[in-house]
Amino acid sequence: MAVVTRNGATYLVVDDEIRAAITALDSDVNRLPYVTDQAQFGMPEYWQRISVERRGDCEDYAMEKQHRLSEELGVPDECRGIATCWITPGDQSSGHAVCLLNVIESDARGCLVLDNISPSPGYWQHKGYAWDHIPAHLRER
């Protein structure tokens, strides 16, 4: 798996085959049922990979995707991470967690967002989310 570093951030070089594998992985995890931590554990937040209970909420999906990117596709740690955001800018009750993947494709370079809301990965700039935390190792300096 090829990676390149640009301005302090490391990117996975993605061709059509790798992009298809990322999209398939995202879709596979998104098939698992969504349930809030409050409903499942009786508490507002409980972070664990979705594979543990076979259901979960946004951060559980994000952690599962990050794990599978590493274990199934061999994506290095420095190319992926978990970010937090608000789905609706200005609405503090719309908190969300996503898996980010730094990629270079034939026509673009940036962070792909793998979340449980969208049917396929897309670049963070196109999501319309208000970003709270993006891991420093994924940002160019």
Q: Average per-residue pLDDT in the chain?
A: 93
Tens of pLDDT along 92-127?
889 999 999 999 998 889 999 999 999 999 999 899
* Inter-residue contact 46 to 30 (CB < 8 Å): no
CA atoms within 13 A on the CB side of 58: 20
Query: Can you give the pLDDT at residue 85?
Result: 96
Query: Can you give the pLDDT at residue 53?
Result: 78
- How many domains does one find in the chain? 1
**What are the two backbone dihedrals, phi and then psi, of residue 76, each rounded to the nearest 5 degrees?**
-65, 150
Count CB neighbours of 141 within 10 A: 6
Model confidence, pTM: 0.93
Residue 97, H or E segment: strand 95-105
Q: Which CATH number belongs to the domain containing residue 67 in this structure?
A: 3.10.620.30
Positions of the chain with pLDDT lower than 50, given as ranges: none
Residue 16 belongs to what domain range? 3-137
